[in-house]
Structure 1
Amino acid sequence: MTNILHVSASIRGDESVSRKLGNRLVEKLATASEATIVTRDLAANDLPLIDADRFAANLTPHEERDDNQQALAGIADTLIGELQAADTLVLSLPVYNFTMPSTLKAWADLVARAGTTFRYTEQGPEGLLTGKKVYVVIASGGTPMGSEIDFLTPWLRHFLGFLGMTDVEMVAADGIMGIDGEEKIEAASQAIEALTPDKLAA
């Protein structure tokens, strides 16, 4: 049994290219092996930004929190639980202003918890979310992935690796606002269809 967590961030609903491609990838993953699927639509959830009180609550052990801290830390507990339970993580992401949607940054700030998803050691930080396969599906209107104006993918690889997730595969439909946009979307779709069972999460 595979547990798939699908996190999407586009504000464009069913019109979103990243969401459509991500949904197709999740369908393919679920077909390859019996799976449970948890979907987290960041655009449909008003994730809170980290402030001093929420930061302190998130770092306070569960059994030591007061009622207010339990309420403040509740959403982070839920998001972290989803991530811990997943064998496979699928991120469906648009590029907004050369980088990530603000909702993804809010999600990242909530799931990065010292002592839970990573820890500090004498050798430096150690990610605790190991053994997971990550697929990232990206749609960009005009920012080429891997270019000098792509500030999303380097940050994303570093952040995922910081939490222990180093097996990351990316599929990009970038530059889709150009005259060959449809061809680039089709190429990304074909890249997803070309994934073979041995390249999919077991």
Structure 2
Amino acid sequence: MTQTVLHIDASARTQGSTSRGLSAKIIERLNADTVIRRDLTSALPHVTEDWINANFTPADDRDAAQRDLLGLSDQLVEEAKAADTLVIGVPIYNFAVPASLKAWIDLMARVGLTFSYTENGPEGLLKGKRAIIAVASGGTQVGSDIDFATGYLRHIMGFIGITDVQFVAADALMADADAAMARANSAIEALAV
């Protein structure tokens, strides 16, 4: 069976990044046939009023400028749709996700494309996929009261229909880096391929 993975790295650090190292190990472990790469160090635009207006204009009624404005967002949506698995490398910055990852989420979570509204509330449209999220933090323990990253990411994944979400955490690295990395590496080895 062929497998396509969308590999997203959100760390601002391109060298020496723990989350990038972990996500690379996960990619290696999965041995996917196709890997779509999205590095968020290349800044994504933030949602603007013009973008929102374009997004809520019916597709057939959009003018050229609106289609152009939504072009990158459309590409991000297609990357997520094409993937069987999303592998996201994310550091915890100031107790939450980096702004670059939030920008990706804002551009990719689109009504009618990745979720829809029903009489029972929102329904994710990217069902049948899984997400493996490699988390690194210096002082924040994953799952603690001050971790505003992992719960948010689990919720967002579920919101777009991805309910099979696994975390590989190298957390509280400043307290005991060796133990944190050993736990993360064990979690990677235990991943189903």
TM-score (norm 2): 0.96
- d(CA) in 2 for partners of 1:62 and 1:27? 39
* Matching residue of 1:90: 87
* Matching residue of 1:106: 103
Matched, 1:143 2:140: yes
The partner residue of 1:193 within 162, 177, 189 is 189
In the alignment, is the contact (CA less than 8 A) between 1:80 and 1:111 conserved in 2?
Answer: yes
SS at structure 1 position matched to 2:37: strand
* Matching residue of 2:16: 15
In the alignment, is the contact (CA less than 8 A) between 1:14 and 1:20 conserved in 2?
Answer: no
In the alignment, is the contact (CA less than 8 A) between 1:58 and 1:76 conserved in 2?
Answer: no
* Matching residue of 1:50: 47
SS at structure 1 position matched to 2:113: coil
Ranges of 4+ aligned residues in structure 1 off by more than 2 Å: 58-64
* Matching residue of 2:154: 157
- d(CA) in 2 for partners of 1:139 and 1:47? 22
- d(CA) in 1 for partners of 2:87 and 2:53? 29
Shift of 1:102: 0.3
Shift of 1:70: 1.3
- d(CA) in 2 for partners of 1:98 and 1:177? 14
Identity %: 49
Gaps of 5+ in 1: none
1:61-92 CA-to-partner distances (Å, cap 9, x unmatched) read 43322111011101100100000000110010
Shift of 1:145: 0.5
Shift of 1:194: 2.7
- d(CA) in 2 for partners of 1:102 and 1:59? 24
Whichever residue aligns with residue 50 of structure 1, its letter is V
- Count of residue pairs brought into register by the alignment: 192
Question: Could you say which structure has the higher helix fraction?
Answer: 1
Matched, 1:126 2:127: no
Q: CA RMSD in A?
A: 1.1
TM-score (norm 1): 0.91
Mark the CA change 1:60 to 1:35 in structure 2 (over 3 Å): closer, same or farther: farther
